[in-house]
């Protein structure tokens, strides 16, 4: 049980990569709080993953600071602390570069970059208060480096997340908080099926 005694929070955890992360953390002995904008689904997922004594669900829109703060507060209230934060929530929108609407740009940046910033900051404040360090994991993407035109806003947000990770790692190192990024390739999640493989150009670029 590698994570016995640890408490983790995972955003975007009702399905896909986030759910898989939460499932593995629980299998390794951690207590886990999972957040997702789909409140009904994240509650259902929590029930499927484990007992209330091990896992809690919180409806969380990561683009809203108060929601992210509530996610962290729930971990502390339920399990006494926070050791690991995984900023996994993300969305993608499929547009020709010259046709990207402002509101869609704002939506993607709001979830993928601003949401990750809120997660890093909220988790770090709690970890600093605890005085015992911690780990913050930002789920980036190969798209931070790979330019797929149909996914321009997604790529921009993940590039920003990489720099957020680098800056936060330096800023939080004195507090014994490690900030790391993970940049997976294409994983066939629901988001990939709808936002990426729905575009012939994006599919060809990925494959």
pLDDT digit string (tens) for 83-97?
999 999 999 988 889
pLDDT tier, 150 (very low <50, low <70, confident <90, very high otherwise): confident
Does a structural domain hold residue 162?
A: yes
Does a structural domain hold residue 146?
A: yes
Burial (CB count within 10 angstroms: exposed 0-12, middle 13-18, buried 19+), residue 147: exposed
pLDDT tens digits for range 5-56: 999 999 999 999 999 999 999 999 999 999 999 999 999 999 999 898 999 9
Does a structural domain hold residue 183?
A: yes
- Say whether pLDDT at 175 is over 80: yes
For the residues 95-109, what does the mean pLDDT come to? 95
Please identify which of the residues 154, 165, 172, 179 carries the catalytic annotation. Answer: 154
Does a structural domain hold residue 158?
A: yes
Does a structural domain hold residue 1?
A: no
Q: What is the pLDDT of residue 205?
A: 56
Does a structural domain hold residue 2?
A: no
The Cα-based distances of 195 to 152, 159, 200 in angstroms read: 12, 18, 11
Tally the domains of the chain.
1
Domain span including residue 199: 7-206
Instruction: Say what the pTM is.
Output: 0.89
Q: Check which CATH number belongs to the domain holding 63 and give it.
A: 3.40.50.720
Q: What is the pLDDT of residue 117?
A: 99
Does a structural domain hold residue 35?
A: yes
pLDDT tier, 151 (very low <50, low <70, confident <90, very high otherwise): confident
Token pair in block for residue 152:
């321009």
95 has catalytic annotation: no
């Amino acid at each position: 049980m590698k994570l016995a005694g640890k408490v983790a929070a995972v955003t975007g955890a009702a399905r896909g990569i986030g759910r898989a992360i939460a499932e593995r953390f629980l299998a390794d002995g951690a207590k886990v709080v999972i957040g997702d904008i789909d409140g009904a689904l994240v509650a259902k997922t929590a029930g499927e993953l484990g007992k209330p004594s091990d896992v809690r669900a919180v409806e969380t829109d990561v683009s809203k600071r108060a929601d992210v703060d509530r996610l962290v507060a729930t971990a502390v209230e339920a399990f006494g602390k926070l050791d690991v934060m995984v900023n996994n929530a993300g969305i993608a929108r499929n547009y020709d570069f010259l046709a990207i609407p402002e509101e869609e740009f704002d939506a993607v940046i709001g979830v993928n970059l601003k949401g990750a910033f809120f997660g890093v900051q909220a988790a770090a404040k709690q970890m600093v208060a605890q005085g015992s360090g911690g780990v913050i994991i930002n789920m980036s993407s190969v798209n931070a480096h790979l330019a797929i035109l149909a996914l321009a806003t997604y790529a921009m947000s993940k590039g920003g997340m990489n720099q957020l990770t680098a800056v936060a790692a330096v800023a939080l190192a004195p507090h014994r908080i490690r900030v790391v990024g993970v940049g997976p390739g294409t994983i066939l999640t629901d988001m990939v099926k709808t936002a990426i493989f729905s575009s012939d150009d994006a599919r060809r670029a990925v494959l």
